[in-house]
């Protein structure tokens, strides 16, 4: 009952998602261990809203994105898109749903086919929508290009003739060509020049207002996420450590990792230098931890219990979850 009504509101629900990559060693490629790239990740994205996923490099953000897009098969867990568990669908059953979730990649240079004009790249989506070649397709193409702020004559050009920001606009146009309802943005601005980043952020925001898109916005920059997202999930070594509405997360951060992240944001307002909580350097073999809290070894409040048991993801407030027993108890 409750979950049905929730499904309507939530465009995407991810539950206990897991993906381990084998580490192969030796001559016979024996499996020597597992990289727990995504380990028990759950979150929800509301229709028309933006969820921010932040975390340091290598913590598994891109892997989450690839799992949602079914570019990787999850080992465990559910991915429920509009009430349908797409984790279990076969390639064929997935086909009509596939275009509803689109992605914009970080690297604007690798994400466009260098041998195709941008027009053809975007038309690929229109073709899949079933729009026949001809005047109608051309009109749609021009409309898409204008929507992302590119002139229609860019359709005949090859990707190497564009700057990074312009390519990113073209990638957005390609993603929009199939009329998606959820767009996964995997660090879409971190490869761009500072003065171009704001253009792309504005574009994403405008498109959300106009088309009612939902975003999963992946980033390592808390400034950007805090500006753009309604809910923020903080990821660390394959697990979500804290998840809360943006305001709540900044006003009332609970998890020690979130605290140190927020204090480490480089803030362009000198004179207001806050005390930065300097974390211990990370010495462990990043994702192959054994037992207990993933933050052990760097946590300033660590206790023996943290090394012993698996820490659960506990609710500490309205839509506020934290994976730390000490923070949850407070």
Partner 1 sequence: MTNDNTLISVQDLKVYFRSGHECARAVDGISFEIRQEETVCLVGESGCGKTVSALSILGLIQTPPGEIAGGQIMFQGKNLLELDEEDMQKIRGNRIAMVFQEPLTSLNPVFTIEDQIGEAISIHKNIGSGELRDCCIKLLKDVGIPSPVQRLKDYPHQLSGGQRQRVMIAMALACDPDLIIADEPTTALDVTVQAQILQLLKSIQETRSMSILYITHDLGVVANIAHRVYVMYSGIVTEQGNAAQIFHHARHPYTQGLLASLPSRSKRGKRLFSIPGTVPNPAYKPAGCPFHPRCPHAIPICGKEYPKMCDYGQAHLARCPVLFKNSHNPDKPEPKSI
Partner 2 sequence: MNKKEKGFNKNFQLETPLAPKRTRLQEFWRLFRQNRLAILGLFIFILFFCCAIVGLFMTSGPDPLLDPAMIRLQEKLRPPLAKPNLDSLRREEIPYLGFYLMGTDDLGRDVFARMLQGAWVSLTVGFVAVGISVLIGIFMGGIAGYFGQHHIRVDHVLVTLVLISGAALVTANFIRSGAALLCLTPAYIFYFIWSQNRSGKKTLPLWAKVFRKNAVSIDTLIMRIVDIMLCFPSFFLILTVVALLPASIYNIMIVIGLTSWMGATRFVRAEFLSLREQDFVAAVKTLGAGNFRIIFRHMMPNAMAPVLVSATIGIATAILTEAGLSFLGFGVPPPHATWGNILSDGKNFIFDAPWLTFIPGIAILIVVLSFNLFGEGLRDVLNPKLRERH
Strand order through the sheet with 84-85: 30-46, 10-25, 76-81, 84-85
Q: How far is the CB of 120 from ligand SF4 (least distance, A)?
A: 38
CA 22 to chain centre: 23
Which of 256, 260, 320, 321 is close enough to bind ligand SF4 by CB under 6 A?
A: 256
Of residues 266-305, those binding ligand SF4 (CB under 6 A): 293, 295-296, 299, 301-302
* DSSP character string of 25-46: ETTTTEEEEEEEEEEEEEEEEE
Q: Does 325 bind ligand SF4 (CB under 6 A)?
A: yes
Give ∠ CA 260-194-54 in degrees, rounded to 5. Answer: 30
Q: Closer CB to ligand SF4, residue 45 or residue 293?
A: 293
Q: How far is the CB of 209 from partner 2 (least distance, A)?
A: 15
78 binds, among Mg ion, partner 1, ligand SF4, none (CB under 5 to 8 A by kind): none
Cβ atoms of 46 and 10 within 8 Å: the answer is: yes
Of residues 57-96, those binding Mg ion (CB under 5 A): 62
- Is residue 105 helix, strand or coil? coil
Pairing of strands 10-25, 76-81: antiparallel
The structure tokens 């052990």 sit at 296
Report how far residue 18's alpha carbon sits from residue 6's, in angstroms, rounded to the nearest whole number: 23
Interface with partner 1 by CB under 8 A: which residues? 56-57, 163, 165-166, 193-199, 201-202, 205, 220-224, 226-228, 246, 250, 260-261, 263-271, 273, 276, 278-279, 281-283, 286
175 binds, among ligand ATP, partner 1, partner 2, none (CB under 5 to 8 A by kind): partner 2
- Contact footprint for ligand SF4 (CB under 6 A): 256, 293, 295-296, 299, 301-302, 306, 311, 324-327
- Contact footprint for ligand ATP (CB under 6 A): 21, 35, 37, 55, 57-63, 220, 287
């Amino acid at each position: 009952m409750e979950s049905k009504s929730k499904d309507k509101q939530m465009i995407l629900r991810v539950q206990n998602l897991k993906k381990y990559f084998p580490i192969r060693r030796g001559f016979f490629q024996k499996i020597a261990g597992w990289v727990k790239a995504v380990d028990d990740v759950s979150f929800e994205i509301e229709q028309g809203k933006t969820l921010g996923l932040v975390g340091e490099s290598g913590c598994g953000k891109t892997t989450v994105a690839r799992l949602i897009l079914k570019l990787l098969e999850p080992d465990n867990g559910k991915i429920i898109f509009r009430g349908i568990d797409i984790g279990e669908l076969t390639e064929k059953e997935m086909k009509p749903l596939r275009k509803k979730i689109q992605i914009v990649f970080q690297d604007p240079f690798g994400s466009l086919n260098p041998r195709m004009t941008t027009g053809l790249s975007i038309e690929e989506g229109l073709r899949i929508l079933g729009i026949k070649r001809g005047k109608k397709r051309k009109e749609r193409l021009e409309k898409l290009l204008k929507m992302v702020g590119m002139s229609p004559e860019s359709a005949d050009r090859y990707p190497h003739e564009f700057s990074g920001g312009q390519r990113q606009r073209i990638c957005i146009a390609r993603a929009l060509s199939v009329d998606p309802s959820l767009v996964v943005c995997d660090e879409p601005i971190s490869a761009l020049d500072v003065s171009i980043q704001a253009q792309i952020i504005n574009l994403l925001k405008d498109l959300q207002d106009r088309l009612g898109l939902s975003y999963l916005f992946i980033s390592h920059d808390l400034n950007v996420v805090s500006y753009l997202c309604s809910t923020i999930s903080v990821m660390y070594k394959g697990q979500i450590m804290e998840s809360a509405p943006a305001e709540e997360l900044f006003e009332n951060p609970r998890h020690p990792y979130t605290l140190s992240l927020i204090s480490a944001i480089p803030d362009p307002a000198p004179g207001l230098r806050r005390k930065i909580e300097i974390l211990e350097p990370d010495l462990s073999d990043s994702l192959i931890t054994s037992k207990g809290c993933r933050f052990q070894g760097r946590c300033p409040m660590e206790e023996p219990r943290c090394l012993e048991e698996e820490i659960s993801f506990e609710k500490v407030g309205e839509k506020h979850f934290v994976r730390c027993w000490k923070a949850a108890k407070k």
